[in-house]
Structure 1
Amino acid sequence: MRLHITLDDELVEELDRRAGTRQRSAYIEAAVRQTLDDERRWDDVESALGSLADSGHAWDDDPATWVRAQREADSRRTG
């Protein structure tokens, strides 16, 4: 599909330096795809906020003791 857009002259000059005059459309298409994908991911992140119950963690009362116990339980740890 063809689309007519207007861009600032300085923006077009930089686009040409980076993509070349014969690759403008491909460069713009890739940039729009990336931006839309990023925005979809942020929408997913924002919709998931608060969906997990805040039930606390095993380390909340005494983090140092919890870390020590994890290290002692690690069979790969030597020494």
Structure 2
Amino acid sequence: MFDGLELCALKRPDLPTIKVNKKYMLWVKIGGEYQLKDVQVKAMRQTSRNAYEVDVFGYGFRKTVSTKKLRERV
């Protein structure tokens, strides 16, 4: 049923605290359903004045996502 990840409080990290090689959580679609997985930030870049994107890696998943999608435990 629940494996404990759904029971912890998650929040969006503040932009200055996002660091390369630090682990965060991200909702990813695996096998047709969304799952909360640990990912590691590999690079960070600014795409516009207020938009930042990160390259994440974990569980065979490598993609560029918005920093707004990252989550960390409270």
Place the TM-score, normalised by the shorter chain, in its bin.
under 0.3
**Going by fraction, where is helix more abundant, 1 or 2?**
1
Instruction: Using CA pairs under 8 Å that are at least 6 residues apart, name the structure with larger relative contact order, 1 or 2.
Output: 2
TM-score if structure 2 supplies the norm length? 0.20
Structure with the greater alpha carbon radius of gyration: 1
**Going by fraction, where is strand more abundant, 1 or 2?**
2
